């Protein structure tokens, strides 16, 4: 049994369930994350291009690749 290190995230967005480009959905979800909260983004691949955007918008992130095969990115306001 695998344990998700980000189980305590306030919000969760599984980009694997989005039909089409998920960038807009991710940005919308980030708009709802307040100081002290976090968003767990689940993706089918490591979203490296997103990291620069997060930094520009003053978010920090931690990334993990748990056993379920998806990439988990825990995003918090800086």
Q: Where are the domains of the chain?
A: 11-77
When pLDDT is cut at 50, 70 and 90, the band that residue 2 belongs to is very low
pLDDT in tens, 3-31: 455 668 899 999 999 999 999 999 999 99
- Helix (H), strand (E) counts: the chain: 2, 4
When pLDDT is cut at 50, 70 and 90, the band that residue 1 belongs to is very low
Q: Round to whole Å and give the CA distance between 59 and 64.
A: 17
Contacts (Cβ under 8 Å, ≥6 apart) of 76: 33, 37, 38, 39, 59, 60, 61
pLDDT of residue 70: 86
Q: Round to whole Å and give the CA distance between 12 and 51.
A: 17
The DSSP letter of residue 53 is H
* CATH homologous superfamily, domain 11-77: TusA-like domain (3.30.110.40)
């Amino acid at each position: 049994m695998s344990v998700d290190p980000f189980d305590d995230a306030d919000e969760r967005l599984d980009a694997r369930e989005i039909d089409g480009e998920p960038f807009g959905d991710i940005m919308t979800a980030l708009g709802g994350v307040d100081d002290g909260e976090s968003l767990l983004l689940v993706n089918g691949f490591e979203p490296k291009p997103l990291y620069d955007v997060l930094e520009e918008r003053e978010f920090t992130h931690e990334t993990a690749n748990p056993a379920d095969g998806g990439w988990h990115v825990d995003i918090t306001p800086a």
